[in-house]
Amino acid sequence: MKKRKWSIALVALAMLLAACAESSGGSTTTAGGTEGSTTTAAPSEGSTTTAAGSVGATPYENLNAAMAGDYAGTTVEIVAQWAPDGAEAESFDAALQPFRDATGIDVQWNPTVEYETALQVRVDGGNPPDLAQIAQPGKMAQYAAAGSLVNLSDWFNVDQLTQDLCCGFVDMGSVDGSLYGVFWKTDVKSIVWYPIQAFADNGYEPPTTWDEMIALSDQIVADGNGSPWCISIESEAADGWVATDWMEDILLRTAPLETYTAWYNHDIAFNDPAVLHAAELMHQIWFTEGYAYGGSDYINATFIGNTQDPMFDAAGPQCWMQKQAAWIPGFWGENKDFTDPAEWPNQPGEDVGFFYFPPIDEAYGNPVLGGADMFVMFNDRPEVRALLEYLATPESAAPWIERGGFLAANKNVPVESYTYPNDELATMTANATSFGFDASDLMPADVGAGTFWSGMVDWVAANGEGTEAVFQGIEDSWPAG
Amino acid sequence: MAEVVDPQQVVVERRGWTAGRDFLIAVAVFAILWLGLRLLRNPDTFAGMGPLAGKLAQALLALALGIGGIWAVFIVVNTLVEHLPVRVAEFVRPWVFVLPALFVVGVYLVYPAIRTIIQSLTEVPEGEGFLANYIDAFTDPDVQIALRNNVIWLLIAPTASVIIGLAFAALADRVKRESLAKTFVFMPLAISMVGASVIWGFMYAWKIPGQPQVGLVNAVIQGLGGEPIAILQQVPLNTFAMIVIMIWLQVGFAMVILSAAIKGVPVELTEAARIDGASELQNFFKILVPSIRGSIITVFTTIAIAVLKVFDIVFVLTGGNLDTEVIALRMYDEMFRFRNFGQATAMAVILFVAVVPIMIINVRNLRKQGIGS
């Protein structure tokens, strides 16, 4: 165990050093990236002329100093929501280890339960951690407005970050042009899982357009093969969020990104015609007779981890397609009984694969819907800066990628380093024409975690009747001001 | 010549000496308590013990400090009071016992209550009046549903609990194995609300028609050839299904109190009625029920208060979706999910105002019965 940790650390450190040596040539570190988009060619000329020099430099000032051992012996506290005792917590700790080893800085990482409330309480109490992970840009903006966060724009190499991060994450991490959050990990939601062998046996092809997807759905119904779609939204205190993802994904495909942005900012009404149009398309899949397995009762009464159970029925798939993010494989059929993914009877990529949730209107390209985790800074000390800068480098993702289940917000992480399904997801994200951040996470919680969710549940209970009234109700619930 | 010792003198001296000793003991007790609390608060104290042993040690220390500490403090303070002149001691002693309780109630109940009321009036959107939160509350469709549902709960749950509890108490009074029969009805009371909700969640579980039903209710329906019903997804069936859980939980309580009350009705009374030719039903409604009226009111109001505050059942089973919202859940959502303190505190005050009249009835009734003064 211990040995393994060490080897990971060494590998990662080696990667880091190699990458640094390679990139330090063109990236004009010391000048703070004034030249902007210099090409990363020619490592030959002046590759050792950068400031810190001795070890091989990163594009980040404090990180270089830390690597030179300037802050050895200091302590940085970082908090994140990754469940204590879970694989995610271990993976995150592994990701911090190379930094600890390379700098001698003691990074303390304390998993917390009830994470968001606990963080709020610590900030309210004037005892915030040095760095904290946050998933909602809205929450970040709240902390920034309250003056709790360190403005990173003053010293962070933002140009480098802009080159590295995908998906407009620099903008998402900024408030009024000031950077507060550095995105690190992302989740992509625009994928649909399907049983590979059963598809082949029946001559079904993963659809590449919306029309093909509808045609396939009709085909499955016509073949008497059960229902094309596995859909359900029961999720304890969060019933309905799966439906909001559908709405967002469809809206991204039927309207410009500006409309999407205006929608969650409430610059247009929640029930804008564009949104109602998206609802109509969603209605087609959710409420067409015979499409969704078990109908609206099944959708509302079935826990999201059990949505796809009929896909793994002993008598063959009873439902064929499920739109859900990459966390779902652990819930496939008997997979629930095993903690080690290697033992799963239903392997992602072999037994069940995914296709990209197809585009609808060519004008809006191939968008991707997702969420992402960022780090924000509460206490400004050089060693804290160094860790935040480290988390901006592609190398910081390596240990977790190796352990699986990580998609980096940094687009310069080599695609080859990923395993399935994240390799394909990384490619998909890289090829996306736009990245829509989960809108319900950006709306005020009253709506995004309140009436939007409950409205979707009501809509399903009414079997898709009264669409306009449902969306009008959500619009009316938008908090004033 | 023998020295003459004044006995009075001895007593005084001894008293002075014991007073000093007791005072030192008191100081020591408080010092130990203070150190213990510091030890308890320090996260490092239990760090070296491993997670389970650490938690266990912490819990034991907390129990020892809590129970033993209170006991020690009362003994010590009481001993100190003994040393005061008799008149002063008589005056001070009751306060020694009452003040801590008053302090705790004040800090943990009265102060937050006042703060809540103030906050519900002042935490309003900019440019709006004091009552903005309340106006919002009563015009918001979701809150209106919550208010309506609380009324439905209040109309059905206590009434049904009392009727069933009373019927069971009266009937059980006449069977041989009375205590066994009553034990079964009483048992749900020992289950927490959340536990009961989870159990009933399984009772109401729904699978698509034709598949094996894991929920008892739908298994019976399907077994009899019917179509399974998604009970918790059907409006308004879902609210009534949840009220059933509350009744199931409260019937035991109603039964125990009412059964005791029935046993307290003099046999001569019912015997006399029978001799006068009263039927069993007449006996029940005209003799028994009026005789235990006070107990019935107590039981009814106690259950009514629990019902008004209902939260767990709805939170676990539907999360307030599909027209099942109740005020307490709304308060929780506004507070912890939406962080609208103004709205949340307004909900709390509304709930508080709704409970107060029932409390008054309850207390008055208890006074009439001579419990309390």
Of A236, A298, A476, the CB nearest to B319: A236
Residue with the two structure tokens 């698509």: B208
Contact B319/A at CB under 8 A: yes
**Nearest CA of chain B to the CA of A279: how many Å?**
20
Chain B residues with CB inside 8 Å of A454's CB?
A: 142, 320-321
- Name the residue facing B233 among A300, A476, A481 (closest C-beta): A300
Chain A nearest-CA distance from B350, in A, is 20
Average pLDDT over residues B110-114: 94
Residue pairs between chains A and B whose CB atoms are closer than 8 Å? 55
Q: Contacts of residue A457 in chain B, CB cutoff 8 Å?
A: 321-322
Give B233's contacts in chain A (Cβ within 8 Å).
Answer: 297, 300-301, 461
CA distance A61 to chain B (A): 36
- B337 close contact with A: CB closer than 8 A: yes
pLDDT given for residue B370 in this prediction:
65
Mean pLDDT of B245-262: 93
Yes or no: say if A158 and A191 are a contact pair by the CB < 8 Å rule: no
Q: Within an 8 Å CB–CB cutoff, is residue B46 touching chain A?
A: no
The tokens for A7 are: 């080897």
User: On the CB side of A471, how many CA atoms lie within 13 Å of its CA?
Assistant: 22
CA B116 to chain centre: 20
pLDDT beyond 50 at B97: yes
Adjacent-strand bridge partners of A131:
A78, A377
The answer to whether residues B181 and B175 touch, using CB atoms and an 8 Å cutoff, is yes
Which of B235, B322, B338 comes nearest A446 by C-beta?
Answer: B338
CB contact under 8 A, A449 and B235: no
pLDDT of residue A125: 84
In chain A, which residues have their Cβ closer than 8 Å to the Cβ of B230? Answer: 297, 300-301
- Chain A contact set for B140 (CB, 8 A): 477
More confident residue, B368 or A78: A78
- Look at residue B198 and tell me whether its pLDDT is greater than 80: yes
Taking CB atoms and an 8 Å cutoff, what residues of chain A touch B51? none
Chain B residues near residue A301 by CB distance under 8 angstroms? 206, 230, 232-233
pLDDT of residue A76: 94
Query: Average of pLDDT values for A364-382?
Result: 94
Contact across the interface for B337 and A481, Cβ inside 8 Å: no
Q: Given a cut of 90, is residue A404 above it in pLDDT?
A: no
Give the pLDDT confidence score for residue B3 in this predicted structure: 58
pLDDT at A7: 47
Nearest CB partner across the interface for A480, out of B125, B206, B322: B125
Q: Is the per-residue pLDDT at B234 higher than 70?
A: yes
- Tally of CB atoms within 10 A around B123: 16
What type of residue sits at position A251? L
Q: Which residue has the higher pLDDT, B241 or B77?
A: B241
The phi and psi torsions of B116 (rounded to 5 degrees) equal -60, -45
Comparing alpha-carbon positions, the chain A residue that sits nearest to B235 is A461
CB contact under 8 A, B333 and A450: yes
Which is it for the CA torsion A59, A65, A68, A74, positive or negative?
negative
- pLDDT for residue B47 is more than 80: no
A228 touches B at CB < 8 Å? no
- Mean pLDDT (whole number) for A204-214: 95
Mean pLDDT, rounded, for B198-222: 91
Confidence check: pLDDT of B2 > 70: no
Mean pLDDT of A38-64: 53
Q: What is the mean pLDDT of chain B?
A: 87
CB of B204 within 8 Å of a chain A CB? The answer is no
Q: How far is CA B241 from CA A232, B146, B217, B232, B319, in A?
A: 22, 16, 11, 7, 14
Q: What is the pLDDT of residue A223?
A: 94
pLDDT of residue B210: 84
Average pLDDT over residues B17-25: 84
d(CA A271, CA B39): 57
* % of chain B with per-residue pLDDT over 70: 94
Whether the CB of A131 is below 8 Å from some CB of chain B: the reply is no
Distance, CA of B24 to CA of A288 (rounded, Å) = 83
Residue B357 to residue B363: CA distance in whole angstroms: 10
Using alpha carbons, list the distances in angstroms from residue A55 to A22, A65, B47.
13, 10, 38
Q: List the structure tokens of A285.
A: 């899949």
Q: How many residues would you count in chain A?
A: 481
Task: Specify the pTM.
Answer: 0.79
Mean pLDDT, range B124-133, rounded to an integer: 85
Cβ <8 Å between A117 and B230: no
In this prediction, residues B131-150 reach a mean pLDDT of: 91
A449–B338: do the CB atoms touch at under 8 Å?
Answer: yes
Torsion from C-alpha of B61, B65, B71, B75, nearest 10 degrees? 120
Q: How confident is the model at residue B12 (pLDDT cuts 50, 70, 90)?
A: low
Output the average pLDDT for chain A: 85
| Band of residue A337 on the pLDDT scale cut at 50, 70, 90 | confident
Q: Provide the pLDDT for residue A84.
A: 65
For A461, which residue in chain B has the nearest alpha carbon?
A: B233
Which of A80, A112, A83 is closest to A96 using CA atoms?
A: A80
Q: What is the 3-state secondary structure (H, E, C) of chain A?
A: CHHHHHHHHHHHHHHHHHHHHHHCCCCCCCCCCCCCCCCCCCCCCCCCCCCCCCCCCCCCHHHHHHHCCCCCCCEEEEECCCCCCCHHHHHHHHHHHHHHHHHCCEEEECCCCCHHHHHHHHHHCCCCCCEEEECCHHHHHHHHHCCCCCCHHHCCCHHHHHHHECCCHHHHCEECCEECEEEEEEEECCEEEEEHHHHHHCCCCCCCCHHHHHHHHHHHHHCCCCEEECCCCECHHHCCHHHHHHHHHHHHHHCCHHHHHHHHCCCCCCCCHHHHHHHHHHHHHHHCCCCECCHHHHHHHCEHHHCCHHHHCCCCCCEEEEECCCCHHHHCHHHHHCCCHHHCCCCECCCEEEEECCCCCHHHCCEEEEEEEEEEECCCCHHHHHHHHHHHCHHHHHHHHHHCCCCECECCCCHHHCCCCHHHHHHHHHHCCEEEECHHHCCCHHHHHHHHHHHHHHHHHCCCCCHHHHHHHHHHCCCCC
Over residues A89-93, mean pLDDT: 88
Give tens-digit pLDDT for A455-477: 999 999 999 999 999 999 999 99
Which among A301, A454, A473 is the nearest to B230, CB-wise? Answer: A301
Pairwise CB contact (< 8 Å): B321 & A458:
yes
Nearest to B322 among A449, A461, A473 (CB): A461
CB–CB contact A461 B235 (8 Å)? yes
3-class secondary structure per residue, B168-233:
HHHHHCCCCCHHHHHHHHHHHHHCCHHHHHHHHHHHCCCCCCCCCCCCHHHHHHHHCCCCCCCHHH
Question: Hey, which residues does A63 pair with through a beta bridge?
Answer: none
Cβ contact A457–B322 (<8 Å): yes
pLDDT of residue A17: 44
Using the structure block, give the residue that is written with the tokens 């306060």: B95
Q: What is the pLDDT of residue A43?
A: 39
The answer to whether the CB atoms of A297 and B322 lie below 8 A apart is no
Non-local (6+) Cβ contacts of A477 within 8 A are A446, A447, A450, A451, B140, B142
Distance from CA of B246 to the nearest CA of A (A): 20
Radius of gyration of chain B (CA): 29
Q: Contact, A459 vs A468, CB < 8 A?
A: no
- How many C-beta atoms lie closer than 10 Å to residue A204's C-beta? 19
pLDDT (tens digit per residue) in B282-313: 888 888 899 899 899 999 999 999 999 999 99
**pLDDT tens digits, one per residue of A190-206:** 999 999 999 999 999 99
> Any CB–CB contact under 8 A between A211 and chain B?
no
**Within an 8 Å CB–CB cutoff, is residue A239 touching chain B?**
yes
Q: Given B208, B232, B337, which is nearest A450 (Cβ)?
A: B337
The residue to which tokens 């949840």 are assigned: B242
Task: Tell me if B230 and A297 make a contact (CB, 8 A cut-off).
Answer: yes
CA nearest to A480 within chain B: B125
CB A429 within 8 A of CB A166: yes
* Chain B nearest CA to A292, separation (Å): 12
Determine the average pLDDT of the residues in A310-333.
92
So what's the pLDDT on residue A480? 77
- Tokens 């709006």 locate to B128
Contacts of A265 by beta carbon, 8 Å cutoff, 6+ apart: A442
Lowest mean pLDDT segment, chosen from A195-204, A219-228, B9-18, B290-299: B9-18
CB distance A365 to A433 below 8 Å = yes
- What is the predicted pLDDT for the residue at A168? 85
Tens of pLDDT, residue by residue over A72-90, are: 999 999 999 886 667 788 8
A458 touches B at CB < 8 Å: yes
List chain A residues with CB under 8 Å of B333. Answer: 450
CA A348 to chain B, closest CA, distance in angstroms equals 27
* pLDDT tens track for B150-187: 999 999 999 999 999 999 998 888 888 888 888 888 88
**Is the pLDDT reported for residue A3 higher than 70?**
no
Confidence bin at A35 (pLDDT 50/70/90)? very low
| Overall average pLDDT of the A248-253 stretch | 96
pLDDT of residue A32: 36
Given a cut of 80, is residue A136 above it in pLDDT?
yes
* A229 touches A321 (CB < 8 A): yes
Q: Do B338 and A445 touch (CB under 8 A)?
A: yes
Name the closest residue on chain B to residue A296, using Cα atoms. B233
Give me the pLDDT at residue B13, please: 60
Q: How confident is the model at residue A444 (pLDDT cuts 50, 70, 90)?
A: confident
**Predicted pLDDT at A45:** 37
Query: Higher model confidence: residue A3 or residue B293?
Result: B293
> Are the Cβ atoms of B230 and A454 closer than 8 angstroms?
no
Report the pLDDT averaged over residues A235-240.
82
Cβ atoms A40, A26 nearer than 8 A: yes
Check CB contact of B333 with chain A, cutoff 8 Å. Answer: yes
User: Would you tell me which residues 219-248 of chain B have a C-beta closer than 8 angstroms to some C-beta of chain A?
Assistant: 230, 232-233, 235
- The answer to whether A55 touches A17, Cβ cutoff 8 Å, is yes
Q: Name the residue among A477, A386, A324 with its Cα closest to residue A65.
A: A386
Q: How far from chain centre, in Å, is Cα B18?
A: 44
